[in-house]
Amino acid sequence: MGCSVKKVEQVVNILKDKKIHISTAESCTGGMIAASIVDISGASDVFEEGYVTYSNRVKSKLLGVKEETIEKFTVVSSEVAKEMALGVAESSGAEITVSVTGYAGPYDADDGTPAGTVYIGTFYRGIPDAKHYKFDGDRQAVRKQAVIQAFDDVLERLRED
């Protein structure tokens, strides 16, 4: 999937040690984060559920992303990434969540947002967070880099304890 198996194993093991669960909400990565987790033996102990919410309508319907947020900030924004992470936490009950929204390319978005722009959201200990990234390469390269970064962001949040 383009992500270090060791890094994903590390996340799964930390989640097991803390006895907490993770859920995902993905757009441009199309389920690659969830698939990376499920690739690890024992993931069923910590993985709750994963959503692939590619359209704005489904982001709103399943994750509670406000249409006003999308209109004001665009779908590729830290605000939407945070709302996705919060929404999947509320629906799944997972203690930590990760969300991804972005433009994988190969072309820039209609609003001028450059291809490779990605926001990764996390929700942990009641606090949503989101970070902005700009990845280089073709569509697949951007998606793979986003997955790797998502696990780095989850690890960073898990170390807050």
pLDDT digit string, tens, across residues 15-31: 999 999 999 999 999 99
> What's the pLDDT score for residue 123?
98
Per CATH, domain 5-158 is 3.90.220.20? no
> What's the pLDDT score for residue 90?
97
Please report which confidence band the pLDDT of residue 156 belongs to, taking 50, 70 and 90 as the band edges: very high
pLDDT digits (tens, 9 = 90+) for 69-88: 999 999 999 999 999 999 99
Paired residues of 122 in beta bridges: 98, 129
* Averaged pLDDT of the chain: 95
Please report which confidence band the pLDDT of residue 111 belongs to, taking 50, 70 and 90 as the band edges: confident
Residue 27 three-state SS: coil
- Angle (CA) 115-9-154 rounded to 5° is 50
Q: Is the pLDDT of residue 39 over 90?
A: yes
Please report which confidence band the pLDDT of residue 3 belongs to, taking 50, 70 and 90 as the band edges: low
Please report which confidence band the pLDDT of residue 1 belongs to, taking 50, 70 and 90 as the band edges: very low
> What's the pLDDT score for residue 58?
96
Q: Is the pLDDT of residue 97 over 90?
A: yes
Residue 20 three-state SS: coil
- Whole-number Å distance between alpha carbons of 102 and 109: 10
| Burial of 15 from C-beta contacts in 10 A (0-12 / 13-18 / 19+) | buried
> What's the pLDDT score for residue 4?
80
| Burial of 136 from C-beta contacts in 10 A (0-12 / 13-18 / 19+) | exposed
pTM here is 0.96
Tokens coding 146: 């986003």
What mean pLDDT comes out for the span 23-49?
97
Q: Is the pLDDT of residue 66 over 80?
A: yes
Tokens coding 63: 């994750």
Q: Is the pLDDT of residue 115 over 80?
A: yes
Q: With contact defined as beta carbons under 8 Å apart, do 50 and 23 qualify?
A: yes
HSE-CB at 14 with a 13 A cutoff on CA atoms is 20
- Whole-number Å distance between alpha carbons of 55 and 30: 11
